[in-house]
Structure 1
């Protein structure tokens, strides 16, 4: 156990146990349940049975869907529970959908203590009478021939009138519940309110199944929302996606794809400038997509998916995929200029450099491979990226030793260059001459060069530590297209006062964001269900405002 913390407030107490990295959480959860079971008899009688669960990332909702309309909050909640939640839960990949907010129905029995005293009845008698009359219990089974039929006693209340007809004390005359109490079909006392786009509404939290693809599942949820909006438009109900995890994932993957494509095109352009041949450039350019396709096959074999980390690994490896191929092509080209046949030049040229390119690739692999064995959250995050780089480099080595020699033997030509490439060659020779002069100067002034490099190295270290001129962070900042505000009024403020305050903030947000605003979701108070457990010290004096903005790229 690494740390134990707790939060207690009226009606609920939350104890969070944090374990060291690598702990078997299934075993730990069972151990915690066993220990709590040993003390359950010592808890107050009014306390419910402790709920123990392990935190799973799949418990985090993949989408928050706001439901609003020109109807009372109680009707909006009923529509959400009866029509929207079942529609979401039928979607493949969705584990559950929970409704929060609105007015929840509650049957209240208001006992008149004076009448109760007049009939000389204790309050426990009323409670037991209600409990015994509202039952749904198994009553055994009936066996007839080859079949067995299960029986149940269904004696649950179906109407408010039936509750009033409960006999509290039999006799002549009997005492009914309606004689000593008033039964009201009402709503639960509000400790929270959900506001969607500045109006009371409800929010539906959608959770995915463990192992389900987030992007695919959110896509199906969005299609179902479009269908529901068309179906419920006549009832004045509208659904808005306030937050979904797929948005940032799709944007990140799109950016990585764009970067990888730009990197590949730039690599081909640089190759063209220095190889001075369209045929040679085409041969090398083929190595990039071929190596990536083979890498995809290896990733599929390993059960890896395309995500931000694996795409980052591919983008990182793009420039290194052509290194071995360039060496093979250049050596083959040299042999062709020496008069050898295309087939012989490809065979001899590849065999001469095979040890060198293998050593070069293995050296780079040796840098990335240890990341796979890094423990903790860092290893978990970067393991896939390191594996993709290793796979891509090994695949590029395979392509350089097989496909590149084949293409060189078929397509590589040695001949006169055109004017454009001749001009490039003259510029390259001039650049080489300048580099030669700079290198001679550096060799003749060794002490000065070493001193300059040492100062740069020390200065770089000092920028990171101890002066902290270069900041450090776990994950870089990213524009997710949404804002979140926490609002706190003085402790003890009523829910109504908090609602007034957040309504003013909502109007200000609408004024500032203008056309960039897509939706606002406000949670006032403690929240409901499991979501309330993660709101810490929330109360009627607190609120959370979630603002969804238009896509930053639009």
Structure 2
């Protein structure tokens, strides 16, 4: 009869069903553990495509004016037919042309990319016959490598490309979660046939026929299949040269062989490109992950593989391997910060609550809301296919200190009901129902504060990242409301001992001090109002003095310098320029905490990437 007379509310629905609440708690813990283990971890959230495209059309050994007239202007005319174009920044040079195309905010970059590809296909018929390729680049988070590895030669290698390809690039590409591995800075050896034109004329040979014969002789192609009983055997015609001797003794005419009219070598081609790490000739590996892979775990796995190979593999003894950038380290640092914030937040919450309540059991009940609220938020992430990244983890860290508010109000009111002499059941039910509306309105007003930032901004990037920041806070606050109205009352009913409430209830110094301050403020309203006005004015003054910037300030641990050199520069002149810059940087190496200087350049352009020493990790209490 007692239950039938109660109001139908959320606390009354669960407070007399402790077994059901226990099952809900266990379900949250189990599903939360699964979500914590399965959820992908990455540096930045994926899914946002900036509203720009980069187009590049290579055209070697051309005059810049000729490139502008024959390639750049027709390209710009086709680009303008794509919807949403806001600006076009093009550049013409002796190696071709490029264009940065920016589009209106909110444009669907997938549709625009398809339209741009269609326009560039139409453009090919208007371009010179020598133009072979048109490249269209669309940026996304997946285009950034999770590891960037520098490999310098300690001992001069005859074929570094072959060694690194077979012993590092291919094994890493076979790992689960790795999308691709780009090897740059090393060139593959190729067979060079340097034909002596005088000998060709002396033997009265047709050079075109010689070239056609070489192309016909070196091939691999499918040749169908044969059936033998129930078996189907696929055939493949293989006519590939395996050694230089086979190439040298290719018959040309009668007893005449290829070596009689040409010099055949197997070597690395001379290239107008240089790549160095701290002044040493080097190679870099850029390792990309699959979209569903866990960045932190994959980075750790690759790092362990590189360490083992550098020690155990004899082929790699002549190389020095150094990891310049590891996205997994930054993710792990963020996770450690989140765990540390959660632990310290819980400790401070326990101390403050205990200072006011002076009841250890009630303090522990309130503290339960922190891990449970965060666990429910992780479950939400898991089912909407979000990842743990810097932005979402920042939202979780913000919410750590906010999720205890509702539980504090509920527990304090239950505490008051017990002090009035009510039984645990009535105290838990009445104490929760009295404040249910208040904590619901308080939670909703706090959660909705992110809505204007997400919906009322014209910049798509800002809305995207504010959603990833605001939704974790909103979900954790709603989860804390659910915990405070379902789990906390049941826990208070069975854990708190009412017989000790009356004997231990004493006013602490903190409460007495607060009561005196409140009494003074109520009796001196004008003075209190003036103090509040002064505090508000000081806040506006301070906010106006705080420096801020709208654009991104830089990379995580590196600085990139881009160089545009005169088009008539030779490789030697470019080398002199970059050597001077490197010398200046080395002089200031300790001043700027420089870890590694990576350079790559050509006669007309180049780039220097300066990697900085990581800052030592300290806790907030360390000096």
Q: Do they fold alike, i.e. is TM over 0.5?
A: yes
Query: Is this contact kept in 1: 2:521–2:528, CA < 8 A?
Result: no
Q: Secondary structure, in 3 states, of the residue corresponding to 1:136?
A: strand
Spell out, residue by residue over 1:125-174, the C-alpha distance to the aligned partner (whole angstroms, 9 max, x if none): 44333323323233444444444444433233333343344455x4xx57
Indicate the residue corresponding to 2:384 in structure 1.
302
Indicate the residue corresponding to 1:473 in structure 2.
550
Query: Is this contact kept in 2: 1:73–1:102, CA < 8 A?
Result: no
CA distance in structure 2 between the aligned counterparts of 1:322 and 1:450, rounded to whole angstroms: 27
Query: Is this contact kept in 2: 1:110–1:183, CA < 8 A?
Result: yes
1:484 to 1:33, Cα distance in 2 relative to 1, 3 A? closer
Give the Å deviation of 1:224: 0.9
Indicate the residue corresponding to 2:489 in structure 1.
405
CA distance in structure 2 between the aligned counterparts of 1:94 and 1:518, rounded to whole angstroms: 30
CA distance in structure 2 between the aligned counterparts of 1:11 and 1:158, rounded to whole angstroms: 35
1:22 to 1:126, Cα distance in 2 relative to 1, 3 A? farther
Indicate the residue corresponding to 2:147 in structure 1.
63
Indicate the residue corresponding to 1:222 in structure 2.
303
Q: Secondary structure, in 3 states, of the residue corresponding to 2:368?
A: helix
Indicate the residue corresponding to 1:81 in structure 2.
165
Farther-moved stretch of structure 1 (202-211 vs 112-121): 112-121
**TM-score for both structures, normalised by structure 1:** 0.83
Residue 436 of structure 1 pairs with residue 519 of structure 2: yes
CA distance in structure 2 between the aligned counterparts of 1:11 and 1:126, rounded to whole angstroms: 31
CA distance in structure 1 between the aligned counterparts of 2:588 and 2:541, rounded to whole angstroms: 44
Query: Is this contact kept in 1: 2:372–2:483, CA < 8 A?
Result: yes
Query: Is this contact kept in 2: 1:66–1:201, CA < 8 A?
Result: yes
Query: Is this contact kept in 1: 2:593–2:613, CA < 8 A?
Result: yes
Residue 352 of structure 1 pairs with residue 414 of structure 2: no
Indicate the residue corresponding to 2:188 in structure 1.
104
Give the Å deviation of 1:105: 1.2
Farther-moved stretch of structure 1 (105-114 vs 388-397): 105-114
Structure-to-structure mapping, 1:30-429, within 5 angstroms: 30-52=114-136, 54-119=138-203, 124-166=208-250, 170=253, 173=254, 176-233=257-314, 235-371=317-453, 373=455, 376-410=460-494, 411-413=496-498, 414-417=501-504, 425-429=508-512
Farther-moved stretch of structure 1 (6-15 vs 406-415): 6-15
1:122 to 1:217, Cα distance in 2 relative to 1, 3 A? same
Give the Å deviation of 1:216: 1.6
Q: Secondary structure, in 3 states, of the residue corresponding to 1:28?
A: helix
Structure 1: unaligned runs, 5 residues or longer: 527-538
Q: Secondary structure, in 3 states, of the residue corresponding to 1:360?
A: helix
CA distance in structure 2 between the aligned counterparts of 1:79 and 1:445, rounded to whole angstroms: 77
Taking only aligned residues, the RMSD between alpha carbons, in angstroms, comes to 3.5
Indicate the residue corresponding to 1:534 in structure 2.
none
Indicate the residue corresponding to 2:601 in structure 1.
525
Farther-moved stretch of structure 1 (509-518 vs 433-442): 509-518
Spell out, residue by residue over 1:461-480, the C-alpha distance to the aligned partner (whole angstroms, 9 max, x if none): 7x27xxxx5323345778x4
CA distance in structure 2 between the aligned counterparts of 1:92 and 1:508, rounded to whole angstroms: 43
Structure 2: unaligned runs, 5 residues or longer: 1-84, 619-623
Spell out, residue by residue over 1:18-47, the C-alpha distance to the aligned partner (whole angstroms, 9 max, x if none): 444544444333333322222323433333
1:512 to 1:174, Cα distance in 2 relative to 1, 3 A? same
CA distance in structure 1 between the aligned counterparts of 2:273 and 2:147, rounded to whole angstroms: 20
**TM-score for both structures, normalised by structure 2:** 0.75
Q: Secondary structure, in 3 states, of the residue corresponding to 1:203?
A: strand
1:21 to 1:73, Cα distance in 2 relative to 1, 3 A? farther
